[in-house]
Structures are given as structure tokens and as C-alpha cells.
């Protein structure tokens, strides 16, 4: 068993990004922390990663706070730019995070290990480069909850407290999150080099992203064009998944959209309780740019920015390149519509071969009824699943709709498009989601009172979202008084 600060000769890191894209990062060094302590370790996830994890908790804490750097690690801060709430910033970059390298998983995939809150880098822009415990634990709850719901996401591997306070509101214990992604390359990564007209780096990025994320395109004669189309399809699928579970990202800037189409950055995100397309919780989203209903068009807007970075690689004639990019970005609308139709068809138990126009009409009417009756998005879909699987009576289901006569007509219309077997609905309509009030309750207990029991219990429930929990409090929507005043923050 190694001592806490003993060097790890070989952790298992590969260095593909470090070796192939030297223009895309600066070397980084973690801050020195007085007494790192392990407060969360994702043992089950770790078992799927081919790495030499220490067995001792002190050694794990030292590793995940970067106080011990394995000999095969190459700590780097990634360079990227981005549109933040529609305004372009030509240089953002990893201001409080560093990538140590890639790791292989037992399923054959490759992931990057990133330490968030590890201290300032060359991209910190006068920030302290650190993170508060509450924000890092929030990433654990939401990312692991999203993973259990089947939504493409970054994963949380560990959280380490640093032994010092960080100055947030209110001040709280400092922490580092060990986070993984298939890669951390973003639309903003391409924007960084497009703004500097470094077309040679853009071309290297295109081939790297194809190798990592879309290997079926490796022999493409038009790699930039095909990468754009593949990204459009992947982002359409991801946003449709968000919409299906009522997730509101809260900060859909181009630097928070990964080319690998995984959800990243769980700062001001939240989940919708009562169905209202205008729902927004982020304290920094003053104009509701990233409200629930705006997520699909914002994704398309972001992809247009991605397409702009690829223009020099799409065609040597600039006008022809614009036409190719425009047609590609326009395809997002149809791609998203098809993905959302698929998500909702599964949630409503509809036949895959049903007429798309009839399905779209049925979805629109269902959502209208939910909105009129002010019904909870998650529990109402689950109630429909239970009713169609004969787990609750017709009278009990109808009672949810407060005598709204439209629901009877909707059920009759649905029967014409429905599957004979509706059991699959029970595996797509969760009983439990990361309810905002429960998340805040658990985070306050852990970060302000060092009481991790609510966090541990909530995490266990979120990891089994389709199973009835022992405590009904996890299935109930937040009180109206909470939701009316609830605001999420960035955490920096």
C-alpha cells in the first residue's frame, strides 16, 4: 500500500492529446493544498477504468488533488474561446482545471481525466482557480443522475477537499473534482484557432475528433464536412435527451458544448418540475436565453458557430463553403425533430412506425394539457406509464388532470398510435430525478455542516431512477414557495 505522497510510476495514462495537439494547451501545475481529504470516490466507475488506483484513501486524495502526479501524467490546461450568452470571447481556456491524460476503459472506450478546482492556470483571468465543495458535489449528483437516466454526460470519479476555504457566497471548504469525458474538446476549441486563422491546427483538430469520437469517418474524403454533420446529429440527440428528462443546462455557451456530445458543466443547471417551456433558473441568464424551450435553437446557433470555424476546410471557394455550412446547419431542425419525436414516442409508448405528423400532433397536445393543468413533467409521465401498465386505476390517473376534458380525447387518440406492450415505458420514464430542492438540501448539509448523509442517500437514489425509493420525499416536486425563489449560480 503506497504512502500518501509516494510517486506513482505508471497510473495508466496515455498522452494522445498532449502528443498530437501541442498547440492546444499550456502546461499546468496544481496549487499546493495543506491537507487534502477524500470525501467521494466512485468505486463502481473506477472498476471500469484500466488504471492503477491506490488503495489508501490518503493516496487517492493526494492523487485527485494533484499533490501527487503520476510519472506518466502530463498536466495541461486546454486552450479554447467561446460565445458566452451570445458574446464572443477569443480566449477563455481552462482557468481552474487541468487534464492529466487519457485512460482506457474495460469496454474499449478512452476517457480523459480532468481535475477541476486544482488551482490557477495561464487562462485564469485573475480568478483563484479553485472550487467550493458544494459546487463539486453538485456535479457528482447531477452527472451521475444523468448517467443513470441514460443521458450522455461527463462522469464524476472523485471529490477531494483541499483543507482550505474558498471565498464564495457563503465561504466554504475548497474542493477538487476528478471528472472524465471522452474528450474535453469543445466548439470553443475550434473557435480559438479559427479566430487566429490557424487553419493547420483546425485541420489537426478535425482529424483528432474523428479518430476519438467518430471513427467511422476515418477514411472520409471530406473530413471537415462529415465531422460537422456527425456533430449536428450527435448534438440533436443530446438536446432531445435533455428535453425528455426536463433538464435545463443553464449555460449553453459554445465553450460548454463538447464535440463528443456529452453534457458538461453542471453549474447553473436545474430540472423542471411543473411543465412550463419558459422555465429558467440561472441567475446569470437575465434574458432567458437558455430557458428550457430555447435549448434546441441555441444548440443550432452554437453549431452555426462551429460551422463557421470549418469554412476554410469545407471548400477552397469561400462562397461554396458558406453554402455547404448553411445547408448542414439547417439540417439540425429536422434532425432534432426526429430525435425529440423518438424520445417522446418512447415516453408515451407509441409505435416507432407511426405517422410522424400524427405523433407530433399527439406530443404537442399532451404538452399543452400538461401546461394547462400545471402538472409535474416527471411524475405525470410516470403516472401515464403506471396507468398503461395497470399499476394505477384509470380514475386515479384522470384525477391528476383536474377534470380537464382534453385528456380523455387525448387517450383515445393515443390508442390509435400506441404499442401493444407498454412495459418499456417504465424504463424511460423515471420515478426519481435530481429534484432541485433535494439537491440543494444535500449540498447545504455537506458544504456548510459537514454532514454527508443526505448527499450519500440522495446519490444512491439517483443511481436507480426507475426504482421506487423507500422514502416518498424523493418522488415529490418541490414546494411552490421553493421553486418561485429558486436560483442557480455558476459556482466560480
- Tell me: pLDDT of 205 over 80: yes
pLDDT at 373 over 90: yes
Residues known to be catalytic: 255
Burial of 93 (0-12, 13-18, 19+ CB in 10 A): buried
58-75 burial code (b ≥16 CB/10 A, e <16) = bbbbbbbbbbbbbebbbb
Residues 106 and 120: their CA atoms lie apart, in Å, by 33
Asked if the model's pLDDT at residue 492 lies above 70, the reply is no
Given a cut of 70, whether residue 467 has pLDDT beyond it is yes
In the predicted structure, residue 485 carries a pLDDT above the cut 90: no
Could you read off the pLDDT of 15-65 as tens digits, one per residue? Answer: 999 999 999 999 999 999 989 999 999 999 999 999 999 999 999 999 999
pLDDT band at 5 (very low <50, low <70, confident <90, very high): low
DSSP code per residue over 362-423: HHHHHHHHHHHHT-BHHHHHHHHHHHHTTSS-HHHHHHTTTT-THHHHHHHHHHTTB-S--G
- Does the pLDDT of residue 1 top 70, yes or no? no
Q: Which of 265, 295, 261, 264 is nearest to 278 (CA)?
A: 295
> Is a pLDDT exceeding 60 seen at residue 3?
no
For position 284, what pLDDT does the model report?
83
- Across 89-103, 119-133, 336-350, least confident range: 119-133
As a whole number of angstroms, the distance between CA 38 and CA 330 comes to 47
**Average per-residue pLDDT for the chain:** 95
Q: How far apart are the first and last CA of the chain?
A: 36
Please compute the mean of the pLDDT values over residues 67-91 and round it to a whole number: 96
Residue 489 pLDDT grade (very low, low, confident, very high; cuts 50, 70, 90):
confident
Percent of the chain with pLDDT over 90: 89
Helix 295-314 with 199-213: angle, nearest 10 deg? 120
Amino acid at each position: 500500500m503506497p504512502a500518501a505522497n509516494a510517486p506513482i510510476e505508471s497510473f495508466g495514462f496515455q498522452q494522445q492529446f498532449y502528443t498530437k495537439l501541442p498547440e492546444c494547451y499550456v502546461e499546468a501545475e496544481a496549487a499546493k493544498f495543506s491537507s487534502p481529504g477524500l470525501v467521494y470516490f466512485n468505486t463502481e466507475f473506477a472498476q471500469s477504468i484500466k488504471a492503477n488506483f491506490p488503495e489508501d484513501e490518503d493516496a487517492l486524495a493526494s492523487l485527485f488533488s494533484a499533490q501527487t502526479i503520476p510519472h506518466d501524467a502530463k498536466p495541461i490546461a486546454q486552450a479554447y474561446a467561446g460565445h458566452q450568452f451570445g458574446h464572443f470571447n477569443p480566449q477563455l481556456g481552462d482557468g481552474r482545471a487541468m487534464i492529466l491524460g487519457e485512460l482506457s476503459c474495460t469496454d474499449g472506450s478512452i476517457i480523459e481525466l480532468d481535475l477541476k478546482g486544482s488551482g490557477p492556470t495561464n487562462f485564469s483571468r485573475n480568478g483563484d482557480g479553485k472550487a467550493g465543495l458544494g459546487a463539486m458535489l453538485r456535479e457528482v449528483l447531477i452527472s451521475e443522475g444523468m448517467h443513470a437516466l441514460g443521458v450522455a454526460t461527463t462522469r464524476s470519479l472523485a471529490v477531494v477537499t483541499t483543507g482550505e476555504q474558498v471565498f464564495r457566497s457563503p465561504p466554504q471548504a475548497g474542493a477538487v473534482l476528478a471528472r472524465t469525458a471522452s474528450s474535453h474538446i469543445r466548439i470553443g476549441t475550434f473557435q480559438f484557432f479559427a479566430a487566429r486563422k490557424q487553419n493547420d491546427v483546425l485541420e489537426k483538430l478535425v482529424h483528432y475528433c474523428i479518430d476519438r469520437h467518430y471513427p467511422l469517418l476515418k477514411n472520409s474524403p471530406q473530413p471537415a464536412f462529415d465531422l460537422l454533420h456527425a456533430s449536428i446529429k450527435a448534438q440533436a440527440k443530446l438536446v432531445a435527451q435533455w428535453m425528455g428528462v426536463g433538464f435545463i443546462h443553464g449555460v449553453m455557451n459554445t465553450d460548454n458544448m463538447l464535440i463528443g456530445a456529452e453534457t458538461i458543466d453542471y453549474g447553473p443547471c436545474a430540472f423542471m418540475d411543473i411543465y412550463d417551456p419558459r422555465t429558467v433558473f440561472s441567475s446569470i441568464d437575465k434574458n432567458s436565453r437558455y430557458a428550457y424551450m430555447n435549448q434546441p435553437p441555441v444548440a443550432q446557433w452554437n453549431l452555426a458557430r462551429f460551422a463557421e470555424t470549418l469554412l476554410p476546410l469545407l471548400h477552397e471557394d469561400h462562397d461554396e463553403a458558406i453554402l455547404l455550412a448553411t445547408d448542414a446547419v439547417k439540417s439540425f431542425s429536422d434532425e432534432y425533430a426526429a430525435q425529440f419525436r423518438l424520445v417522446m414516442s418512447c415516453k408515451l409508448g407509441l409505435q416507432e412506425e407511426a405517422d410522424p405528423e400524427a405523433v407530433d400532433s399527439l406530443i404537442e397536445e399532451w404538452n399543452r394539457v400538461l401546461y394547462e393543468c400545471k402538472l409535474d413533467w416527471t411524475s405525470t409521465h410516470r403516472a401515464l406509464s403506471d396507468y398503461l401498465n395497470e399499476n394505477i386505476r384509470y380514475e386515479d390517473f384522470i384525477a391528476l388532470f383536474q377534470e380537464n376534458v382534453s385528456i380523455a380525447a387525448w387517450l383515445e387518440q393515443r390508442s390509435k398510435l400506441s404499442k401493444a406492450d407498454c412495459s418499456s415505458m417504465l424504463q424511460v420514464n423515471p420515478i426519481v430525478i435530481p429534484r432541485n430542492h433535494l439537491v440543494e438540501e444535500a449540498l447545504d448539509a455537506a458544504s456548510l455542516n459537514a454532514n454527508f448523509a443526505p448527499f450519500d442517500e440522495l446519490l444512491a437514489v439517483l443511481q436507480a431512477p426507475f426504482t421506487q425509493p423507500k422514502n416518498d420525499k424523493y418522488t415529490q416536486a418541490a414546494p411552490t414557495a421553493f421553486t418561485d425563489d429558486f436560483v442557480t449560480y455558476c459556482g466560480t
